[in-house]
Homo-oligomer: A and B are copies of this chain.
Amino acid sequence: MKIGQTASFTKTITETDVYMFAGVTGDFNPVHVDAIQAKESIFGERIAHGVLSSGLISAVLGMQLPGPGAILSKLDLKFLAPVKFNDTITATVTVRELLPERKRVIMDCKATNQDGKEVVQGESVLII
C-alpha cells in the first residue's frame, strides 16, 4: 500500500436498494419512502439514504483498499448533495497517510454521481 494509491466501486442506486436499505436500517424517513411527501420536500422527489453511499465507501475499503483484514475504526463523512433514484454512484478511496507504528492507515473517501458531482466527501481510519 502506497500513499496516493486509489480504488473505486460503481453502482447504480435503484428504488429497490433504497427500500431494502430502509427495511434493514429502519430508516423510513418520508424523504426516502413517501413519494407524495418527498415531492413537497426541497429535493422534489424521493432520494437515497446518505448512509447508503457510506456503504459503497465501506465496500471499497473492505474489499479493495486496504481490503479484507482491515478493520474500519473511524468514518467521517460530509453529505454534499442528494443521491436520486437511478443515480450511478462511484465510491473512491485514496491512501492519504500510513501510520505503521500505530497499525493505522488514513484514507480519503468520496462518492460522486454520473455527472462527476461529489455527493459524499470525507475520510476514514482503518486498523491494518
Assess the B52–A75 pair: CB atoms within 8 A: no
Task: Give the size of the chain A interface in residues (CB under 8 angstroms).
Answer: 40
A-B contact pairs, 7 of them (CB 8 A): A25-B55, A27-B56, A27-B58, A29-B62, A41-B69, A73-B79, A74-B78
The reply to whether A21 and B74 form a contact with Cβ atoms under 8 Å apart is no
Q: How many copies does the complex hold?
A: 2
Q: Which of A24, A27, A62 has the most CB of B within 10 A?
A: A24
Chain B residues with Cβ below 8 Å from A37 are: 68
> In the bound complex, what is the Cα–Cα distance between A9 and B69 (angstroms)?
30
List 15 other contacts, CB 8 Å, given A27-B58, A32-B62, A37-B68: A9-B26, A11-B26, A17-B24, A21-B55, A24-B55, A25-B52, A29-B63, A29-B68, A50-B72, A51-B55, A51-B58, A55-B55, A71-B79, A75-B75, A76-B77
